[in-house]
Chains A and B, each alone.
Chain A
Amino acid sequence: GEDVEQSLFLSVREGDSSVINCTYTDSSSTYLYWYKQEPGAGLQLLTYIFSNMDMKQDQRLTVLLNKKDKHLSLRIADTQTGDSAIYFCASLRSGNTGKLIFGQGTTLQVKP
């Protein structure tokens, strides 16, 4: 079945870069998303990438997609304490409108 996997925890120092990794199994995924969830809050869309792209950059965020290996990563440059949150990777399957398959989420801890 469809599956999205993420590592559960990442700890970095303030100012360093963070790289959160995700793998997915559904080769027909058309869009891949990164959402951020702060404690007690909802899901905030950070960015997304279409499956025919290799990279997308948006200010401090860089998304890399290796479609052959079904591997997605989110790089946060100059990580700040405000970036501490849970980051979810999600895939959207072709033709399966709206059915996002989420990973378990990666908790990012930023130490001052």
Chain B
Amino acid sequence: DAGVIQSPRHEVTEMGQEVTLRCKPISGHDYLFWYRQTMMRGLELLIYFNNNVPIDDSGMPEDRFSAKMPNASFSTLKIQPSEPRDSAVYFCASSLGGGGYSGNTIYFGEGSWLTVV
């Protein structure tokens, strides 16, 4: 089975440029999550979708960040304009049922390693 697929794996960009991170969840999963990992803040949830609809975006740091899920097999996280403090690893994850009562596990992709210089 293919896992959660993210692209690009690594990106280096200049401050002020637009960055688009992409994610393909596991087929059949109805929940999709975007997490960010930094040394200072650890792993934090940015936003999650259920059936392509954003449910909780309270973790999105500011208006420069936006996420979309146009269909069940694709999601993007966009940063415009990017800043050096956005440098982090961005993980996409997916699950069937969102975890919780169903106990369905949340599977992570390999991450997109972003450096903004």
Contacts and interface: CB of A to CB of B under 8 A. Distances in A.
Contacts, number: 65
Contacts of A94: 100-101
Interface size class of B (residues with CB under 8 A): 20 to 34
Interface in A48-103: 48, 50, 88, 90, 92, 94-100, 102-103
Nearest to B113: A40
Interface centre among A41, A42, A98, A104 (most CB of B within 10 A): A98
Contacts of A97: 31, 48, 50, 55, 98-100
Contacts of A10: none
A98 B103 contact: no
Interface stretch (B12-20, B63-71, B75-83, B104-112): B104-112
Interface residues on A, range: 20 to 34
B106 A99 contact: no
A42 B100 contact: no
Contacts of B99: 31, 92, 97-98, 100
B42 interface: yes
Contacts of B111: 41-42
Interface string B85-103: 0000001010100111101
Interface of B: 31, 33, 42-45, 48, 50, 55-56, 91, 93, 95, 98-101, 103, 105-111, 113
Give the 3 A-B CB pairs with smallest separation, nearest first.
A97-B98, A102-B43, A43-B108
